[in-house]
Amino acid sequence: MTTMTRQTTGLREFKMPDVGEGLTEAEILGWYVQPGDTVTDGQVVCEVETAKAAVELPIPFDGVVRELRFAEGTTVDVGQVIIVVDTGGGEGDEGTKPVGAAEAPAAPAEAAQAQPAGRQPVLVGYGVAESSTKRRPRKAAQAQPATERGRVNGNAHPAPAPAAPAPAARPLAKPPVRKLAKDLGVDLATVVPSGADGVITREDVHAAATPVSRAAQEPGPAPEPVAPQAAEAAEPAPESVPGARETRIPVKGVRKATAQAMVGSAFTAPHVTEFVTVDVTRTMKLVEKLKADPDMAGLRVNPLLLIARALLLAIRRNPEINAAWDEENQEIVVKHYVNLGIAAATPRGLLVPNIKNADDLSLAELSTALSDLVGTAREGRTSPAAMRGGTVTITNVGVFGVDTGTPILNPGESAILAVGAIKPQPWVHKGKVKPRQVTTLALSFDHRLVDGELGSKVLADIAAVLEQPKRLLTWG
């Protein structure tokens, strides 16, 4: 029996890349092109959502779109073909195959041998990584031809020129070094190795991290880049069937990762939460003065800015709070830098990106960083790197009119500060009951590495600064 295949000259396939280390699938949120459209190398063709963030995918070659393999809203495994483009060329590059070609499903060993020897970059900081992760069964509507099911991690970024050299091999590094790079947000593909036979060392990773002042630091366990907050995500609910008594919402993407991380955090780290109610009238007056200050013109000045500054000052006075628990080595790892996480509600769930080295920033720089961080998060453009490596977090539940709460720690961090609503309340001031601007702060911390005395000192220092903001100068 003769197998018939159609002419495939010039057809190129683009596979779902691994847009975050170790991820196995992504949901297609939207297509920016349709069959018949012309695309160019580097043009964004779709947006996908992983368990970590929403990411736009650029096509790695020129041509005309022939086929979109999956509809919007479909969850696709890494390595599956998502778009076919007619490049008008003659020969396909490595990692591509004729569309519609018939071949038997590859055995696991054969499939492994058919993969490229190394990881190939598809986006800045990302690449297709080898993985033996078992895939969950796909729905019938998403099933792929046998020619694709036996190939999990294909080349998602073929070279645009026929004479281009073979892709670089996966960087050589031992597991502890890979973990260190992940903690510091360093892409190993960009690190220059100094070890024997091209092996990347811990010193190489530290040298690649910024700023250089981190070189002597030993990071703790890598926190999951998900939100620790118990607030409702801002994701719109699906339409209910008229008369239905229940509505089922699929748990996936960021919401699924958040749920898993919160369970792990709540039942791994012994949480302790302390509360303090404080008169912040002077802080609110300072906010108004700063808004009118020409030196702060064009910057966003709000209570969160000064609360963040107060927390950073409290950490400077009590550095042991800025730590992590290393379960494997049974060590407490004190961080000498502060990556300040800010919980932000987004359309896809609650994210906690962090400001790198927030303790080194001026007030104006901190204001700019906060505005950029929150704006990017609400637009759903936060990168996985921006959510890695946090050390402490602030969650502002007061924006929802809530007085306080007991926040859950972001995995791998030692403390999280919840800020309640600021509102007028009767308060004894200078011996008389007067209306004052009052809020309640809640500090949750990991009791394995932060005892009650240390946690109380930190919370008391934050309250003292907000009550008398001139301490930002006298204590700083």
Phi, psi of 440, deg, nearest 5: -115, 130
Cβ neighbours for 199, distance < 8 A, ≥ 6 positions apart: 172, 173, 174, 193
SS (H, E, C) the chain: CCCCCCCCCCEEEEECCCCCCCCCEEEEEEECCCCCCEECCCCEEEEEECCCCEEEEECCCCEEEEEECCCCCCEEECCCEEEEEECCCCCCCCCCCCCCCCCCCCCHHHHHHHCCCCCEEEECCEEECCCCCCCCCCCHHHCCCHHHHCCCCCCCCCCCCCCCCCCCCCCEECHHHHHHHHHHCCCHHHCCCCCHHHEECHHHHHHHCCCHHHHHCCCCCCCCCCCCCCCCCCCCCCCCCCCCCCCCCCCCHHHHHHHHHHHHHHCCCCEEEEEEEEECHHHHHHHHHHHHCHHHCCCCCCHHHHHHHHHHHHHHHCHHHCEEEECCCCEEEECCCCCEEECEEECCEEECCEECCHHHCCHHHHHHHHHHHHHHHHCCCCCHHHHCCCCEEEEEHHHHCCCCCCCCCCCCCCEEEEECCCEEEEEEECCEEEEEEEEEEEEEEECCCCCHHHHHHHHHHHHHHHHCCCHHHHCC
CA–CA dist 397, 229 (Å, integer): 9
Residue 174 CA: distances (Å) to CA of 20, 171, 199, 209, 218: 19, 10, 8, 18, 16
CA–CA dist 466, 237 (Å, integer): 38
- Given the residues 157, 271, 429, 447, select the one marked as catalytic: 447
> Is 447 among the residues known to form the active site?
yes
Cβ neighbours for 22, distance < 8 A, ≥ 6 positions apart: 129, 131, 133
Catalytic residues: 447
